[in-house]
Amino acid sequence: MEYEDMTVAQLKELLREADLPVSGNKSVLIERLIQNDELLESNVDDSVQEESDDFDDTFDDEDDFFDEDDWDQIHTARQKPVLDEETKSNLATRAAQMKKQPKFRRQEWFRYYRLSRTGWRKPKGLQSKQRLNMKYRTPMARVGYGKISSVRGLHSSGFEDILVNNPNDLDGLDPERQAVRVSASVGNRKRAKIHDRADDLGLRVLNRRKINRKGDIQ
């Protein structure tokens, strides 16, 4: 918004934020703001020029940015799925819907601690206040809360989530649209083999964990 289109109150608010005087008519206030902007731009240009003068872009071939042992610690970018524009739009719409969706709590989850960890259960009592949709009870899960069917079941990144239990399950997967999730019951030895095999095939592991490779776990 240009200063000419702003009201006097808005101009004075900008002057207060910049610790400048707020006296005078509208034209004086605008001139004061313009002078302040020019001063800030000149200061920024001077600082950029000083940084460019101090920077030494010479590089010696003998200089080492990383030790050989540090190459394994360098972050590598995660694989991204190959999606069309419609799928990207549907994923964004689903993410916006998820933010507005309430948490579905089972009946009397606040009364008993054991019920707060058991997930959703449909109330079936004849006089259940939640089944009767009383306002002071949490909402029930209904078909209206369903999301877009074309992206239902997809990971938030857009990958199709594939559960695997051994390295042989990775054969035939498409790295452009499918990602791997290692089963929780898989041990570290087999998990390390799955990680290595997935890296060879270019597959993304959604629940990759750091494994201390020592002993016979290599």
What would the pLDDT profile of 7-58 be if each residue is shown by its tens digit? 877 888 888 888 888 777 778 888 888 888 888 887 766 665 665 555 555 5
Tally Cβ neighbours within 10 Å of residue 58.
Answer: 5
Beta strands (DSSP E) in 56-144 are none
129 lies in some domain: no
Distances (CA, A) of 206 to 30, 59, 74, 88, 166: 55, 39, 19, 19, 15
Residue-range definition of the domain harbouring residue 42: 3-51
Q: 215: helix, coil or strand?
A: coil
143 lies in some domain: no
- Single out the residue of 6, 25, 154, 35 nearest to residue 84, CA to CA: 154
User: Cβ distance 153 to 57 under 8 Å?
Assistant: no
Q: 212: helix, coil or strand?
A: coil
Which of 33, 51, 69 is the C-terminal boundary of a domain? 51
Q: Quote the number of domains for the chain.
A: 2
39 lies in some domain: yes
What confidence category does residue 216 fall into, taking pLDDT thresholds of 50, 70 and 90? low
Cβ burial, residue 32 (10 Å; 0-12/13-18/19+): buried
Q: What is the pTM of this model?
A: 0.57
User: Cβ distance 204 to 179 under 8 Å?
Assistant: yes
190 lies in some domain: yes
CATH number of the domain enclosing 12: 1.10.720
17 lies in some domain: yes
Which of 13, 30, 51 is the C-terminal boundary of a domain? 51
113 lies in some domain: no
Tell how far CA 51 is from the center of its chain.
33
173 lies in some domain: yes
47 lies in some domain: yes
pLDDT tens for 56-84 read 555 455 545 555 555 455 556 678 888 99
